[in-house]
Amino acid sequence: MKVTVSRKAYFNAAHRLYIKQWSDEKNLNIFGKCSNPNFHGHNYEIIVHVKGKVDELTGMVIDLKYLKQIIKHEIEDLLDHKNLNLEIKYFKEVVPTAENICIFIWNTLRKKIDKNKHLSVTLFETPRNFVKYSGN
Ligand code: NI
């Protein structure tokens, strides 16, 4: 029997969505307010879902203490109160959209979670706008 275990976490971060080669006007047309040259912040919320077999002995899919710990160390400690464009190496080359932040989080956590468990990450940029990545 497979069950999905989920854990929520939060971080605040600033970003700017823009393509270097484009004018401010074109960036504004494509990215809207998120292209503000002076940056702006979001209260991001993530939900990490781990699906796998319930261990017969422990009754657990994954130790939630461990899941909590890796989300804190690998994601919150790295991204919370940061300017994603300026302070996170990955986003020097990659536009920090919700999509790309979600992929980044998934790739980071994937390395820390048992390969026989399925991982997906949901990232809320606002209460109404959210994305989900499950690999591929
Ligand atoms: Ni934004």
Residues 6+ apart with CB under 8 A from 96: 15, 16, 17, 84, 85, 88
15, 42, 102, 125: the active-site residue? 125
What does the pLDDT look like over 63-108, one tens digit per residue? 999 999 999 999 999 999 999 999 999 999 999 999 999 999 999 9
Reported in sequence order, the residue ranges of 2-136 that DSSP labels E, i.e. its strands, are 2-15, 40-53, 82-83, 118-124, 130-133
Tell me, in angstroms, the distance from the centre of ligand 1 to residue 98's CA.
8
Tell me, in angstroms, the distance from the centre of ligand 1 to residue 96's CA.
9
Tell me, in angstroms, the distance from the centre of ligand 1 to residue 5's CA.
29
34, 42, 76, 87: the active-site residue? 34
Catalytic residue status for 102:
no
What pLDDT, on a 0 to 100 scale, did the predictor assign at position 136? 80
Measured between alpha carbons, how far is 122 from 98 in angstroms, rounded to an integer? 10
What does the pLDDT look like over 12-63, one tens digit per residue? 999 999 999 999 999 999 999 999 999 999 999 999 999 999 999 999 999 9
What pLDDT, on a 0 to 100 scale, did the predictor assign at position 128? 97
Catalytic residue status for 34:
yes
